[in-house]
Amino acid sequence: MSSRSIEETLPHRPPFLFITESVAADSDQAKAIWRIDGREGFFAGHFPGNPIVPGVLVTEALAQTAGLIVGCRCSGSERSPQGFLAKVDLKFPTPAKPPCHLVLTASCTHEFGALYRFDVRASVSDATIAAGELVLSVPAADVADPDVAPGRSGATPR
């Protein structure tokens, strides 16, 4: 999947689009890469002199990888491809230090209406830096409308 296809699938844009390459994505699993060169702005304040990739950004990159699967599943449907994190259960056994390439994988294990559960893993050189489970909530397409209040199913203005 090209960077253009990633931007067609996900609602994120730089500087908050962390996936730099999608290796594979279908309606069940996805594999993506986040290339980190160490010049990213967040390193200026995240442990200067001993930078590590913030776990919250690794979590977001994994959610974006899961979003590629949701995008494949929602293509042509009434659902918006814009999901929201409903649950995060991740372990971070070792930190990632720049420069590095994070390999991000997600596998959809269950779908319950608007909720999608994923097993996810982030690794650097085959060493796991994060692994666990994410749940995304993917509302009906009209809820993703910025003029509609979150959690409402109709076109109720904010």
pLDDT bracket for residue 79 (50, 70, 90): low
Confidence of residue 152 (pLDDT cuts 50, 70, 90): very low
Q: Reduce the DSSP state of residue 64 to 3 states and report it.
A: helix
pLDDT, residue 144, reads 43
Selecting among 12, 46, 101, 110, the annotated active-site residue is: 46
User: Given phi > 0 = left and psi -120 to 50 = alpha, else beta, which region is 76?
Assistant: left
CATH numeric code, 3-144: 3.10.129.10
* Cα–Cα distance list, 64 to 21, 51, 67, 83, 147 (Å): 12, 23, 5, 9, 23
46 is catalytic: yes
Say if residue 146's pLDDT is above 50. Answer: no
Contact 16, 25 (CB under 8 A): no
Give the start-to-end residue ranges of the domains of the chain: 3-144
pLDDT at residue 150 greater than cutoff 50: no
Partners of 30 in beta bridges: 25, 106
* In the predicted structure, residue 9 carries a pLDDT above the cut 60: yes
pLDDT computed for residue 119 by the predictor? 99
pLDDT of residue 132: 99
Residues in contact with 14: Cβ distance below 8 Å, sequence separation at least 6, in sequence order? none
Sequence-distant (≥ 6) Cβ neighbours of residue 67 within 8 angstroms: 9, 10, 12, 81, 83, 136
